[in-house]
Amino acid sequence: MAFENHRQDLRLVLHSFIVLLTCISDNSPLEMTNIKSKSQSQSDEAEGPDGGWGWVLVVAMFVSSSLVFGLMRSLGIFFVEFVQYFEESAQAISWISSTGLAAQQFFSPLAAALCNAYNPRVVVMTGGFLAGLGLTLASQSTCLVHLYLTMGVISGFGWGMVFTPMVATVMANFTRRRALALGLGFSSIGLSSFAFNPLFQLLVETYAWRGALLILGALSLNIVPCGALIRPQRRSKAPEKVDSETKSCASMLRRIASYLELSLLTERPYLTYTLGVTLFNVGYFVPYFHLVAHSRQVGFSEYQAAFVMSAAGASDILGRVVSGWFSDLGHFRVVHLLTLWTGLAGVFIMLLPVSSMSGSYATLMVISLLYGFCSGALTSVVFAVVPMIVGVERTMGALGLLQLIESGAGLLGTPLSGFLKDVTGNYIASFMVAGSFLLLGMLTMTTLPRFFSCTDPPPPQRRSLDAKEKVLDLELEQMNSSPSDKNHTVESNDPANPKLC
């Protein structure tokens, strides 16, 4: 009996050793001989290679961002045209841009889940097609509902499938220069804001708003080749789940929850950060949709009003690049810089109507330049903070959830501003309330864990085993729970069968 027990132990050890060799054999020879090198290479891969093809992706992000947020920021030119053509209130017209912004953010988790399950390249290319399709259909609208569905839902859906995958793909290719790469990619938003406002005004005067929207639809199709530049990435998480889990309803729900990274909703740092971003997102886009209308209301010409936004867009470019470069120097924590830029942007938003009350165009221009710089500076670091909170591996899902949660703020911000204008007759209260939301978001950021520390806390690690380690554990558990092992345990504990040493 003792010999039988030892044979059972020997069989268990040999089986475990064979499974372990199988796991190791799938790795490279260097990893087999140097475990430290293996862990270091995996860590470097997770953080990003800091360049290479990543710079091509920065160019693709540069173009696609200009055709998403750069175009969205310049839709204020159409605001006045829609009010005059449809003879509706400012609040009703504001729902067009708010619906597009909210749709872009609401569908971002879906885009992130599709990227985790399939291929970011296909997702971005599809989003570019939908963005162009929505604007093309909007040129044929005959009522506001048509604009809500086309410019709002369809184009917003396309924008959501472009923005989050492009940002996450660029961040995955950079580590030390991540903020600089994002700043360069996002700088196109300011550049396009500078160029699009007078261009859209010229298109509206030449082809009317219908012809201008048709041209914008064709322009948006350039996002498709930008998405084609994304190389297919190796996915280790999704195939494992597809192969290891059954097709039951419960397993499908677990897979969907994993693709969406819903576990982040139970982590306090991520929830606090998301709340802060959501609050300042309420007022962030208000100047881009209502500053042109406000400038025309106080007596400036159409081109003067358009040039105010162009000037803000020009300083936005400088703010994005300077902020990204400065944050990568490492002198200050990125979250501290984000809080600083958010507070300053909120103050300058509140000063925008005050500067124009005197009728001084130069004063309005200076405040617009300062606002543009700070608003551009905060966008370079707002997404760079996400990997520091959740880790690089969960960045795609974290960005998607962040965009989903803040979609409600984007949906309500501009209509709230339009409502205040309808009630008061001017945009002073609108800008005051918008700036206060940014200050409130800044205060919320200060409640992050270890916010006042001089060093970043380590990001949480995913608490899941490697698939082959799971297989090994399962095999060992099955061996331990086999009838022979149970008999072995009983016999070992039996006083009549003393344990041999």
* Domain around 298: 260-449
CA separation for the pair 65, 175 (Å, rounded): 21
Output Rg (C-alpha) for the chain, integer angstroms. 27
Q: What is the pLDDT of residue 130?
A: 94
Tally helices (H) and strands (E) across the chain: 25, 0
Considering the domain boundaries, does residue 41 fall inside one? Answer: no
- Number of independent structural domains in the chain: 2
Tell me if residue 451 falls in helix, strand or coil: coil
Q: Please classify residue 423 by burial: count the beta carbons closer than 10 Å to its beta carbon, then call 0-12 exposed, 13-18 middle and 19+ buried.
A: exposed
Answer for the pair 455, 331: CB distance below 8 angstroms, yes or no: no
User: Does residue 227 sit in the same domain as residue 275?
Assistant: no
User: Does residue 265 sit in the same domain as residue 346?
Assistant: yes
User: Does residue 220 sit in the same domain as residue 74?
Assistant: yes
Considering the domain boundaries, does residue 115 fall inside one? Answer: yes
pLDDT tens sequence across 399-435: 878 877 877 776 778 788 888 888 888 888 889 999 9
Considering the domain boundaries, does residue 199 fall inside one? Answer: yes
User: Does residue 221 sit in the same domain as residue 306?
Assistant: no
Tell me if residue 457 falls in helix, strand or coil: coil
CA separation for the pair 105, 65 (Å, rounded): 14
User: Does residue 156 sit in the same domain as residue 275?
Assistant: no
User: Does residue 267 sit in the same domain as residue 387?
Assistant: yes
Considering the domain boundaries, does residue 475 fall inside one? Answer: no
Q: What is the pLDDT of residue 339?
A: 92
CA separation for the pair 278, 281 (Å, rounded): 5
Q: What is the pLDDT of residue 497?
A: 46
Nearest residue to 304 (alpha-carbon basis) of 370, 356, 349: 356
**Which DSSP state fits 33?**
H
Considering the domain boundaries, does residue 369 fall inside one? Answer: yes
User: How does 387-406 read in b/e, with b if 16+ C-beta sit within 10 Å?
Assistant: bbbbbbbbbbbbbbbbbbbb
- Give the CATH number, domain containing residue 343: 1.20.1250.20
HEC letters along 248-266: CHHHHHHHHHHHHCHHHHH
Tell me if residue 154 falls in helix, strand or coil: helix
pLDDT tens sequence across 258-292: 767 778 888 888 899 999 998 988 888 888 778 88
The list of the chain residues with pLDDT below 70 reads 1-51, 233-250, 256, 259, 410, 459-501
Question: Model pTM greater than 0.85?
Answer: no
Q: Which two tokens stand for residue 60?
A: 């693709």
User: Does residue 274 sit in the same domain as residue 417?
Assistant: yes
User: Does residue 116 sit in the same domain as residue 195?
Assistant: yes
Q: Which two tokens stand for residue 377?
A: 């500076």
Q: What is the pLDDT of residue 233?
A: 64
User: Does residue 348 sit in the same domain as residue 210?
Assistant: no
Among the candidates 434, 449, 464, a domain finishes at: 449
* Inter-axis angle of helices 268-284 and 395-424, nearest 10: 40
User: Does residue 78 sit in the same domain as residue 226?
Assistant: yes
Nearest residue to 271 (alpha-carbon basis) of 454, 455, 449: 449
Considering the domain boundaries, does residue 13 fall inside one? Answer: no
User: Does residue 414 sit in the same domain as residue 331?
Assistant: yes
User: Does residue 215 sit in the same domain as residue 294?
Assistant: no
Amino acid code (one letter) for 450:
R
Dmax (CA) for the chain in angstroms is 103
Q: What is the pLDDT of residue 491?
A: 46
Angstrom distances, CA of residue 486 to CA of 9, 38, 255, 490: 12, 38, 35, 6
CA separation for the pair 252, 233 (Å, rounded): 23
Considering the domain boundaries, does residue 342 fall inside one? Answer: yes
Say how far residue 461 (Cα) sits from the centre of its chain: 20
Considering the domain boundaries, does residue 461 fall inside one? Answer: no
